[in-house]
């Protein structure tokens, strides 16, 4: 993986911009520690940091190629999994390759197929290509937003980067948070509205979008979305096709010129992928390395809930032994999880999921010591319908996003005159209802299928994007590339149209996936109840973050300026509260307040 950034202005020559772009690039150095490069042309500057995964010696960027006397230059962050097929097709067009790197495949795909090239790519990507002939920069982001792509305007200059912090390094782009940004922070974060950020006038290219920047300005359009189609299949036929697609995507995604491992929690999703990868490794005469994550004191303090009915530790070790992998259990103490809260905020560029982020940041740092690529089980729940709101109708039919259990839990902690919480709730509620109304269904869809389509739409558009963002920032902070096979668009498109009665057969979550991988997993794992990414249950953690927060509130804290201390005091006295997703409870809310204070202070945010 890598980072990209650049400044472009087709209305006038770029002068003295190299230094600014070099500064942007240095801010993103953590995403690619192996190499860096810069390319300057009349109207712009492009820059790149490289994490070498394929063709380590020849894949340097920015990469240039020529056609009919014109130069084409790419900066690219991603991994393309259908390179072999594309190379054959391009070679039939008389293209001669100089590397085995997928960057070159993407560049030539654009040169031969034009903007339609994105429809041919199977993978994760964010890239920009300077097209000298057409005097434009072509921009593209992968179908589910696995790789980031942010942009802003500094007067007439178009600025883009892999992370927001690079844009904020420019003096003309300010860290302004208006009411809409504040509402996203207090009601939705770690989720943001599609195409937006919490900062005024800083945007993202939406997942599944591409377009160009030229003298005419910026023009973006959608090239991919899940389409409802009639699909007449039996449960066995559906399971067979899911198995075929999973086997294919795993084979594609384990190709690497550097050491690769899998994250193995012992849950269905990571276990299925680890089993499939281990199977391929055995065929190649290799032993797969796997990692599971634990927290100090969890065995003693774990408390089951609707969202987390079981701990992971025994299941991960059991399956690792079953698969005969080289397994490592990484354990984080409460002190470490708390210590990493600040850096997790900075790497994510806003307050995310508290210790859910900070622990992953720490774990990825440890994994990177031995491996540069990891396979992870994200996206299965969104694709196969693993969340309660897929089948608990009352959750989907609420007035607000179903993964936000208590919308006012954070907003009510702050000065009502500043936050205007009721107005924010109404604004976001309208967006939620509009999203539901926009879901396209087929005339003969059952009521269950309609509910499932709506749940899929919401989960993929918001919840999955958040999880992918978290995984990207926390892993790339250590230059660790994480691949997510369940996000293969072919698999998602197929499963989207499988009738809900097959996906939820016998009222079992992700029954379709379980049937598809049943020959690869032992019964103990195959039929295990869903369990999410683990969190700390140690009461010691809550005491640590409470002390940290109190200290900040007494020392020129930014949130102290807007906090309602009476409401905050009542929060401290509450036994517990689950306010977001499956894991965010009272300790996470206290930790999130620390992250918010770090964010407002370190980014010198201006609240309008």
Low-confidence ranges of the chain (pLDDT < 70): 1, 53-57, 300-312, 531-532
- The alpha carbon of 526 is separated from its chain's Cα centroid by a whole number of angstroms, namely 26
Interatomic CA distance for residues 202 and 204, integer angstroms = 7
Q: What is the pLDDT of residue 304?
A: 60
Domain ranges in the chain?
2-177+202-222, 235-526
- The alpha carbon of 579 is separated from its chain's Cα centroid by a whole number of angstroms, namely 21
The CATH class that applies to domain 235-526 reads alpha beta
- pLDDT tens digit sequence for 380-416: 999 999 998 898 878 888 889 999 988 999 999 999 9
Q: Note if 2 is an active site residue.
A: yes
Interatomic CA distance for residues 372 and 53, integer angstroms = 8
Phi then psi for residue 207, to 5 deg, are -55, 140
How many CB atoms within 10 Å of residue 58?
14
Interatomic CA distance for residues 600 and 418, integer angstroms = 15
Interatomic CA distance for residues 371 and 378, integer angstroms = 19
Catalytic entry in 2, 83, 261, 364? 2
Q: What is the pLDDT of residue 302?
A: 53
- Burial class from Cβ neighbours inside 10 Å (0-12, 13-18, 19+) for residue 33 reads middle
Residues 6+ away with beta carbon under 8 Å from 565: none
The answer to whether 583 and 307 have CB atoms below 8 angstroms apart is yes
Q: What is the pLDDT of residue 306?
A: 47
The answer to whether 33 and 2 have CB atoms below 8 angstroms apart is no
Q: Both tokens of residue 600? A: 């407002």
Superfamily of domain 2-177+202-222: Aminohydrolase, N-terminal nucleophile (Ntn) domain (3.60.20.10)
Task: Number of helices (H) and strands (E) in the chain: give both, helices first.
Answer: 27, 19
């Amino acid at each position: 993986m890598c980072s990209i950034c650049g400044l472009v202005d087709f209305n006038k020559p770029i002068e003295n911009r190299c230094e600014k772009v070099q500064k942007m690039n240095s801010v993103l150095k953590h995403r690619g520690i192996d190499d860096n490069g810069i390319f300057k042309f009349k109207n712009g500057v492009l820059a790149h940091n490289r994490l070498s995964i394929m063709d380590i010696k020849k894949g340097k960027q920015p990469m240039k190629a020529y056609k009919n006397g014109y130069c084409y230059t790419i900066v690219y962050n991603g991994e393309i999994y259908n390179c072999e097929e594309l190379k054959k097709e391009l070679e039939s067009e008389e293209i001669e390759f100089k590397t085995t790197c997928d960057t070159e495949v993407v560049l030539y795909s654009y040169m031969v197929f034009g903007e339609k090239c994105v429809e041919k790519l199977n993978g994760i990507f964010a890239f920009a290509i300077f097209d000298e002939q057409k005097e434009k920069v072509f921009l593209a982001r992968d179908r589910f937003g696995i790789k980031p792509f942010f942009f802003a305007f500094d007067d007439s200059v178009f600025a883009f980067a892999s992370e927001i912090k690079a844009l904020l390094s420019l003096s003309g782009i300010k860290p302004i948070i208006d009411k809409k940004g504040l509402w996203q922070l207090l009601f939705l974060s770690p989720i943001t509205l599609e195409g937006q950020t919490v900062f005024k006038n800083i945007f993202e290219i939406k997942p599944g979008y591409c377009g160009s920047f030229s003298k005419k300005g910026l023009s973006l359009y959608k090239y991919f979305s899940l389409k409802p189609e009639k699909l007449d299949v039996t449960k066995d036929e559906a399971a067979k096709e899911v198995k075929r697609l999973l086997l294919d995507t795993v084979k594609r995604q384990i190709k690497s010129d550097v050491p690769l491992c899998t994250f193995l929690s012992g849950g269905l999703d990571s276990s299925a992928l680890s089993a499939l990868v281990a199977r391929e490794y055995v065929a190649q005469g290799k032993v797969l390395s796997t990692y599971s994550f634990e927290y100090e004191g969890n065995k003693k303090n774990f408390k089951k809930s609707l969202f987390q009915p079981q701990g992971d530790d025994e299941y991960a070790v059991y399956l690792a032994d079953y698969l005969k992998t080289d397994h490592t259990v990484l354990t984080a103490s409460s002190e470490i999880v708390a210590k990493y809260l600040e850096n997790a905020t900075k790497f994510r560029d806003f307050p995310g999921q508290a210790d859910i982020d900070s622990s992953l940041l720490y774990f990825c740092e440890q994994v990177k010591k031995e491996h540069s690529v990891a396979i992870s089980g994200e996206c299965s729940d969104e694709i196969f319908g693993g969340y309660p709101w897929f089948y608990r109708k009352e959750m989907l039919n609420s007035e607000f996003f179903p993964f936000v259990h208590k919308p006012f839990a954070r907003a009510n902690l702050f000065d009502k005159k500043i936050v205007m919480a009721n107005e924010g709730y109404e604004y976001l509620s309208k967006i939620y209802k509009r999203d539901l109304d926009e879901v396209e269904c087929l005339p003969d869809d059952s009521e269950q299928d309609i509910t499932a389509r709506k749940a899929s739409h919401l989960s993929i558009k918001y919840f999955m994007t958040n999880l992918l963002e978290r995984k990207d920032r926390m892993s790339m902070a250590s230059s660790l590339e994480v691949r997510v096979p369940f996000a293969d668009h072919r698999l998602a498109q197929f499963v989207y149209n499988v009738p809900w009665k097959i996906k939820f057969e016998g009222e079992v979550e992700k029954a379709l996936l379980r049937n598809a991988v049943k020959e690869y997993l032992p019964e103990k794992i195959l039929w295990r109840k869903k369990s999410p990414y683990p969190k700390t249950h140690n009461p010691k953690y809550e005491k640590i973050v409470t002390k940290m927060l109190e200290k900040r509130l007494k020392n020129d804290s930014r949130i102290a300026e807007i906090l309602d201390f009476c409401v905050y005091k009542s929060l401290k006295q509450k036994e517990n509260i689950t306010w977001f997703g499956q894991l965010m409870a009272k300790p996470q809310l206290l930790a999130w307040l620390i992250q918010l204070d770090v964010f407002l202070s370190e980014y010198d945010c201006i609240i309008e």
